Amino acid sequence: MRILITAPYNEKGIREIEQLFGEVVYRPWKPHGRAYYESELIALLEESAAEALITEHDHVTANVIAAFPQLQFIGVCRGTPSNVAVSKATQLGIPVFFTPARNAQAVAEMFISTVIMLLRNTIPGINWLKGRNWQEGAHDSYLHFKGGELAGKTIGMVGFGAIGQLIAGMVRNYPCEIRFYDPYVQEHDPAYKQCSIEEIFSDCDIVSVHLPVTPETTGMIGSRLLKKMKKDAIFVNTARAAVVKREDLLEALETNAIRGAILDVFDHEPPDEVDYRIIDQPHVIATPHIAGATFEVEDHHVEIMNKALTAWFAGGDKKVRELANRDILTMKVND
């Protein structure tokens, strides 16, 4: 089988795919400068005579899939296959694999670093120092930038999938108390307390969002919940902007109803005027959708994808095959 790979793939991963399937045509999107559009991907698939595709960000539309019904599988190196017309693939009997939790470690580390920076007033302190404000004998910095510790805080997770649980495991020993809201989690570590979403927003010092975009979650977090937060609480969203009503979040920040926010995702990317009003708030740490952007994430998605494909085609993991037969490989996950 000839496999077209447009996702970033390390040499070890390519060798494993070659051993499993025979031949790889490697055309990663990164040198191209952007994801391949529909017409470009169709041309690549025709040129390579590929019998399967491993992609990351490319536009795998219904037209692409319809043009190549012979594809044996589509692999998507992302947490969810949101760039793929999964329903069309399912209709044609083409299995879709993806890589949930590929960026869990990266996002979890980003959570800890940015929360501590906000609690400790790190960025204002850096800017104060770079502004040549430190005068002989002055104690302004010690008094003005004194912050709080992460230890002892109650952290609430809205959505408790792979990323939320990894963060919980990291911060529990600070120590922090962990609470979560996720109606789809049936079993969990008894050290973590399952709560209503109202309790998460009213009782926690830090509220962190880890939700996919679905009809149920879109706009789920608005003024009703934000108004329940403590005045010194921090709101974190490194998941999806669409689950939060940004006008309500902006109001909470502008009126100092909460301590601050950490945001990595925005309604418009690049941001529009309203997004920048949020970004420019003095108690907001905003990053340009980079929480999951580490070099290691690419190694993680290669490992996850290759294991899934090996289990499926070599039949080495009966459970994976059974799950796939129930469409688990094509359904949405928490992270």
Phi, psi of 286 (to 5 degrees): -120, 130
Residue 295 structure tokens: 């070099």
Distance CA 329, CA 98 (A): 7
Cβ atoms 164, 194 nearer than 8 A: no
C-alpha distance from residue 97 to each of 89, 135, 164, 266 (Å): 11, 59, 22, 27
Strands laid side by side in the 23-26 sheet: 23-26, 2-5, 52-55, 74-76, 96-98
Q: What is the CA radius of gyration of the chain?
A: 22
Residues 6+ apart with CB under 8 A from 139: none
Tokens of 207: 């509220």
Query: Using CA atoms, how far apart are residues 251 and 302, in angstroms rounded to an integer?
Result: 42
Helix (H), strand (E), coil (C) string for 68-114: CCCCCCEEECCCCCCCECHHHHHHCCCCEEECCCCCHHHHHHHHHHH
Q: Are 190 and 209 in contact, with CB atoms under 8 Å apart? A: no
CB 297 within 8 A of CB 103: yes
How far is Cα 287 from Cα 241, in angstroms, rounded to an integer? Answer: 13
> Which two structure tokens, joined as six digits, stand for 100?
């949930």
| Number of other residues whose CB lies within 10 A of the CB of residue 104 | 22
| Cis previous bond, 8, omega within 30 | no
Cite the active site residues: 240, 269, 289
In angstroms, the CA 103 to CA 333 distance is 14
